[in-house]
């Protein structure tokens, strides 16, 4: 029966920290990496759910963290965003607790002294690091030369989202509180395309809240998803590699922001603040207040429009969600509790009977 094939998740572990969790990612297959508001980072061994490595004493909140493999290392190295700087740490060291003095690279990425970093992203080759900032700036660092290229056009408000586009060596996409998605050629610093998300028409024609872009995810095939502050999910299929409407000929540039190949649907009453694809057709999202929903994307067929089918739903015990990640075995949601402490919930996927 179809119901037997639907996923089911159960809460497996709850971890508490002194300060709110602001960023999470998976390290290797057995590690969870979590950054906090107080400038600390913890690496958890998922088999024991205990801290096996940590960084302390960073000057401000860790707003983003990404990991990468270095040959011969059991631990993944990390890049993290903290204030106006990006730090790189090699975690495979005898030290249990590292400090800023142990960073093997530190880069100032903000032009304005009042600006701060929001998100970091590494490309698949681990050769370039993209960043977004509170001022709306978007940039890319060539890690071999430490050359910083800032995009000539930025967002008019906070830019919280930046992603490299799979199989497009010089293209990135960003999203901001100006309700806009921007697509760049980062080597030239120029805009290829943009998509402005219109307000949601409420009763009487008045929008309840602006469609700030709060979260985003990208599949390996080039489909992009974005979540808004007014509870809508935007899906862009124009850049999908091998999609049903695509010829075998490769297009000159990614066309993922094409408004003629998109789907937009209101799926929540509150902001959609975190999301992740577990495969190209399965997307898991979280609202600010921890309502978790998993959807299957059923492509449009001859006489049927695209369908967004909800296949699982649950409520996390996180008062305010800051991050969500997923793999084949679990999803992890993190943020803060009612008393402004940190919380991480690990939900495991149950095997069918």
Per-residue model confidence as pLDDT tens digits over 24-36 = 999 988 999 999 9
What integer pLDDT is reported at residue 1 of this predicted model? Answer: 39
Q: In terms of pLDDT, which residue wins out, 289 or 208?
A: 289
pLDDT tens, 321-334?
999 999 999 999 99
pLDDT tens, 53-105?
999 999 999 999 999 999 888 899 999 999 999 999 999 999 999 999 999 99
pTM score, two decimals? Answer: 0.94
What CATH superfamily is the domain 2-200+208-243+254-349?
A: YVTN repeat-like/Quinoprotein amine dehydrogenase (2.130.10.10)
Delimit the domains of the chain by residue range.
Answer: 2-200+208-243+254-349
Q: Is the pLDDT of residue 135 over 80?
A: yes
Burial 240-270 (b: 16+ CB within 10 A, else e): bbeeeebeeeeeeebbbbeeebbbbeebbee
What distance in Å separates the CA atoms of residue 347 and residue 276, rounded to the nearest whole number? 14
Q: Which of 92, 91, 71, 70 is nearest to 80 (CA)?
A: 91
**What confidence category does residue 248 fall into, taking pLDDT thresholds of 50, 70 and 90?**
very low
Q: Is the pLDDT of residue 350 over 70?
A: yes
**What confidence category does residue 228 fall into, taking pLDDT thresholds of 50, 70 and 90?**
very high
**Per-residue pLDDT averaged across 92-120, rounded?**
96
């Amino acid at each position: 029966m179809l119901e037997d094939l639907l996923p089911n998740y159960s809460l497996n572990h709850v971890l508490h920290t002194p300060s709110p969790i602001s960023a999470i990612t998976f390290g290797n297959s057995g590690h969870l990496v979590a950054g906090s508001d107080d400038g600390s980072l913890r690496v958890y061994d998922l088999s024991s759910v205990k801290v096996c490595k940590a960084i302390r004493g960073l000057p401000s909140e860790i707003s983003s963290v990404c990991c990468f493999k270095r040959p011969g290392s059991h631990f993944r190295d990390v890049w993290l965003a903290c204030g106006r700087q990006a730090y790189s740490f090699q975690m495979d060291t005898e030290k249990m607790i590292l400090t800023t003095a142990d960073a093997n690279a530190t880069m100032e990425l903000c032009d304005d002294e009042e600006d701060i970093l929001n998100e970091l992203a590494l490309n698949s080759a681990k050769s370039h690091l993209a960043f977004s900032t509170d001022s709306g700036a978007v940039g890319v660092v060539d890690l071999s030369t430490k050359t910083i290229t800032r995009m000539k056009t930025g967002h008019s408000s906070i830019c919280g989202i930046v992603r490299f586009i799979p199989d497009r060596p010089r293209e990135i996409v960003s999203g901001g509180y100006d309700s806009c998605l921007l697509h760049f050629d980062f080597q030239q610093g120029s805009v290829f395309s943009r998509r402005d998300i219109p307000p949601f028409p409420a009763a009487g024609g008045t929008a309840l809240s602006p469609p700030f872009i709060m979260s985003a995810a990208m599949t390996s095939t080039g489909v992009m998803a974005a979540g808004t502050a007014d509870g809508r999910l935007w899906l862009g299929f124009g850049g999908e590699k091998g999609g049903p409407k695509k010829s075998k000929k490769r297009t000159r540039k990614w066309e993922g922001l094409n408004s003629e190949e998109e789907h937009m649907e209101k799926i929540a009453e509150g902001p959609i603040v975190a999301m992740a694809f577990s495969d190209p057709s399965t997307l898991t999202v979280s609202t600010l207040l921890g309502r978790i929903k998993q959807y299957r994307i059923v492509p449009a067929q001859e006489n049927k429009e695209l369908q967004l089918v909800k296949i699982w739903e649950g409520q996390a015990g996180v008062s305010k969600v800051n991050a969500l990640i997923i793999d084949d075995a679990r999803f992890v949601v993190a943020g803060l509790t009612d008393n402004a402490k940190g919380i991480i919930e690990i939900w495991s996927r149950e095997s069918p009977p």
